[in-house]
Amino acid sequence: MRKLIGLLALLVIGTSAQAEIQSKAISYNDEGTALTGHLYWDDATKEKRPGVLVVHEWWGLNDYAKKRARMLAELGYAAFAADMYGGNQVTKDPNQAREWMQAVTVDPELWRLRAGAALAQLKASDLVIPEKTAAIGYCFGGGTVLQMAYGDADVRGVVSFHGSLPAAPEEAQGKIGPKILVLHGQADSFVAPDVAANFRSKLEAAGANWEMDIYGGVRHSFTNPDVGEYGIENLKYDAQADARSWTRMQSFLDELFQD
């Protein structure tokens, strides 16, 4: 019996050692800009699975965005952490981050194309069911996935965490296919109340399928435990809002991929 127990223990350990989260860097290109994203998946199964694109904050594709992609892989998805800047550009300087972000966002169409280049990499993976994809984003990334929705990107839905809230343009009326979930901090001073109100009004006018969860007293970047190191008053982690928003995202993804 002791030998049998020992054998079973070895089998369990061996299985655990073989099944783990894997990642690989993927180089791609957008209009001459060299980009490098990171794909994460659980190798416990070889079956294809839904894919989720993860778009980073304005700081660049740092460890935080990669951590969220890994967490999605732990949930059973294939997750691709997109690179929106290229050249492995990451900073903690808000002025530099603003410069990089504005270079991407100055033209909404080019902004969407840059995100679309990353989505194409996700869909091309032999780990992914191409017709079952979604996109999530944080801060600048939240605005990015909303722009993807406005351009009717080929995803089932998008989730914005403490994102900028660009209003849906007039030309998007009746053409927003992806479902939209917005997770927003009520005390985020980066988004004025009239901006948030206009955002909601434009979504309604566009006929979008949307939902906005608002967390009272919560500031910007509420999902990032390390946000205090940036020294900006409006950036503050909130453990409750972090947990609730992540849970809400999971139920949203479950709905998107239920068929």
The domain defined by 20-256 carries CATH number 3.40.50.10800: no
pTM here is 0.92
Query: CB-based contacts of 29: which residues, under 8 Å, 6+ apart?
Result: 35, 117
pLDDT of residue 106: 96
pLDDT of residue 8: 44
- Report d(CA 217, CA 188) in Å as an integer: 8
User: Whose structure tokens read 């732990």?
Assistant: 74
| Residue 4: Cβ within 10 Å count | 8
- Report d(CA 54, CA 14) in Å as an integer: 31
- Report d(CA 243, CA 249) in Å as an integer: 10
pLDDT of residue 205: 97
- Report d(CA 118, CA 173) in Å as an integer: 25
Contact 133, 146 (CB under 8 A): no
pLDDT in tens, the chain (259 residues): 444 444 444 444 444 445 699 999 999 999 999 999 999 999 999 999 999 999 999 999 999 999 999 999 999 999 999 999 998 999 999 999 999 999 999 999 999 999 999 999 999 999 999 999 999 999 999 999 999 999 999 999 999 999 999 999 999 999 999 999 999 999 999 999 999 999 999 999 999 999 999 999 999 999 999 999 999 999 999 999 999 999 999 999 999 999 8
pLDDT of residue 50: 98
What amino acid is encoded at 211 in this protein? E
